[in-house]
Amino acid sequence: MIHSRSLTVAVLLLVVGCQTNPTRKAPALAIHPPPAGSAALAAAPPEPERPPVEEAKEADDLWRALVSGYRLGRVENSAVEREVERLSAHPDALSRQLGRGEPYLYYILQEVRKRRMPTEIALLPCIESGFRPVAYSRHGAAGLWQFMPSTGRYLGLKQDWWYDGRRDPIASTEAALDYLVQLNRRFDGDWLLALAAYNAGGGAVARAVRINREKGESTDFWSLDLPRETRRYVPRLLALARLIAEPAAHGVHLPQIRNDPRFAKVEVGGQLDLKVAARLAEMKPEALIALNPGFNRWATHPEGPHYLLLPVEKTEIFRRRLEKLPPEQRMRWTRHRIRRGETLSGIARRYGVTVAALMKANHLRSHRIRAGRNMLIPLSVSAPIEAATPVARQRLEYRVRKGDSLYRIARQFGVRVRDLMRWNRLASNRLRPGQRLTVIRAL
C-alpha cells in the first residue's frame, strides 16, 4: 500500500509470508500530484533506453523468465539479510502466497517488461496485498497494489457505486507501474528511491534526499533517514527476489507457474449482466466475478469500462455468443409494482440499487412515481430477488462502535459473519471504530 502501513504490520507481513494486514495505519503523508514546474520532475532525465529483456530459454517456467530480468542487483546489506531470514523461516506460507499470484504474474511481468523496468517489481503485489485483488486494509487501501482512494483517483482509477479500478487487475497494474516509472524519473533513475517513494510518498523521500545533500552526505536509499516501515519495505522486496532466484539455498519451494497468459481482455461493447456473461462463457458466475473483482455490482459499469477478463480458453466461445445475443438480453430485469406510499429511494434500497440506476432504467426525469405503475429493476447477480412476494430485504449502513466485532454485529442483525465480510469485501475480521459496514437483512 502506498505509504499507509505501520511497522507492526510490516513484521506481521513477514511472519505470514508477506500477506496483507488490514491493521496497518495510514501515515499523515498523502500523495499529491507534483506541483507544476516541479524542479525534481523537470530535472529528472528520461528513462534510459535499454534493450528489451530477452525471453528466458526455459519458456515454460515463469520464475526463470522473471529472474532473467532482475536489475536491482544482489545487495549485501544487514537489512536484506534479516528479511531473507524472516521470509525463509516460513517456506510453506511463502509458497502458498506466491501461488496466489498464479492468475496475475504473467500479465504483470509482461507489463513490467514493456516499460523496461527491473522485473523484481513484478513481485510488489506479494508485499502489498498477498496477490489478492480484493484485499482491503482497514484504512481503505484496496487491490493488488493497495491504493488508497485519493491515490487511486490521482492516478485515474475510477471508483464509484458500480466499479472500483483499484481492484481491477489490469487498470490497477497499469496505474501502479506508470506511477513507479514517474517516481523513477523523479529520482534520477534510482529504482530503490522510487520504491521507497511508492511506499512513503515522493515528498518524504525528496525531503530526506534534500537533507542529506545539504549535509554533504550520501543520498542513496541506505543512507537516508526514512520512516522505519519504508526502511524495511525495500529490503523485503530485495529479499523476496533473492529467495525466488535461489529457492533451494533457502529451503523454499516455488509453485509451478507456466509462462503463458491466464486471462484475456475481451471488449463487451456496453453494459452486460455478469450472470449473462458467465452463461455465454460457460463459467460459474463466481469464477467470472473472481476474475473481474473491479465490478461492485451484478453488471459492468453503464459508462465503462466495457471489458471483461476471461480465461484464455473461454474467449472464443464468449465472443461468438455475445455477437448473437439480442440487445434486450444483455441485462436481467424484474418488474416491481409501485405501492401507495413508496418512494424511489425506498425501492432502490429494497433491491440494492441506486436511485440513478432506477431513473436511467425507467427513463425518469424526476423522483416522482405513481402507485399502481410498474418499474424495471435490474437484478443482482449474487442472489435472485423474489419481487412478487411481500418479503423485502433492507440494506442498512452500520457505524462500528468501540468494542464491536463482526460476530457481535452479525448477531445483532441476524446475519452471518461470512455474509458481512462478503458484502463489505473485508480481508479479515478486524474492525475500527467509525468504520461503516453494509448490512442486508430480510424484513
Check pLDDT > 70 for residue 38: no
pLDDT of residue 16 exceeding 50, the answer is no
Residues 378-416 have pLDDT tens digits of 764 333 333 323 334 567 788 898 888 888 888 777 778
Does residue 167 carry a pLDDT above 60? Answer: yes
Relative orientation angle of helices 105-114 and 169-186, to the nearest 10 degrees: 40
Average pLDDT, integer, range 284-298: 92
Query: For residue 294, what pLDDT is reported?
Result: 95
> Quick one: pLDDT at residue 162?
82
CATH 3.10.350.10 for the 392-443 domain, yes or no: yes
Considering only residues 358 and 35, tell me which one the structure prediction assigns the higher pLDDT.
Answer: 358
Beta bridge partners of 351: none
Q: What is the pLDDT of residues 73-128, one digit of tens each?
A: 999 999 999 999 999 999 999 999 999 999 999 999 999 999 999 999 999 999 99
1 band by pLDDT with thresholds 50, 70 and 90? low
pLDDT of residue 13: 39
What is the rounded CA–CA span in Å between residue 174 and residue 181?
Answer: 11
The proportion of the chain whose per-residue pLDDT surpasses 90, expressed as a percent, equals: 56
* CA 43 distance to own-chain centroid: 32
CATH number for the domain running over 7-250: 1.10.530.10
- Residue 169 near residue 144 (C-beta atoms within 8 A): yes
Burial 333-369 (b: 16+ CB within 10 A, else e): eeebebeeebebeebbbbbbbebebbbebeeeeeeeb
In this predicted structure, what is the pLDDT of residue 336? Answer: 86
Triad 79, 85, 90: Cα angle to 5°: 140
Predicted structure pTM score: 0.70
Q: Compare 410 and 22 and report the one with higher pLDDT.
A: 410
- pLDDT, residue 193, reads 98
DSSP 8-state class, residue 256: P
Confidence of residue 8 (pLDDT cuts 50, 70, 90): very low
Tell me the three-class secondary structure of 267-324, residue by residue: ECCCCCEHHHHHHHCCCCHHHHHHHCCCECCCECCCCCCCEEEEEHHHHHHHHHHHHH
Comparing 80-84, 204-208, 323-327, 399-403, which segment has the lowest mean pLDDT?
A: 399-403
Mean pLDDT, rounded, for 420-431:
84
Least confident of 56-65, 219-228, 304-313, 333-342: 56-65
- Please tell me whether residue 377 adopts helix, strand or coil conformation: strand
Please give the grid coordinates belonging to residue 326: 439480442
Q: What is the pLDDT of residue 9?
A: 35
* Predicted pLDDT at 379: 66
Q: Output 161 or 226, whichever has higher pLDDT.
A: 226
CA angle 384–297–98, rounded 5-degree value: 110
| pLDDT mean over 196-206 | 96
Position 158 pLDDT exceeds 70? yes
pLDDT at 441: 65
Which amino acids are annotated catalytic? 128
CB-CB contact of 173 with 108 (8 Å): yes
Better-scored residue on pLDDT, 429 or 93 = 93
pLDDT computed for residue 202 by the predictor: 96
Asked, colleague to colleague, whether 7-250 and 333-378 share their fold, the answer is no
- pLDDT recorded at residue 290: 93
Domains of the chain by residue range: 7-250, 263-329, 333-378, 392-443
pLDDT value, residue 39: 34
Q: What is the CATH number of domain 333-378?
A: 3.10.350.10
Burial class (CB in 10 A: 0-12, 13-18, 19+), 54: exposed
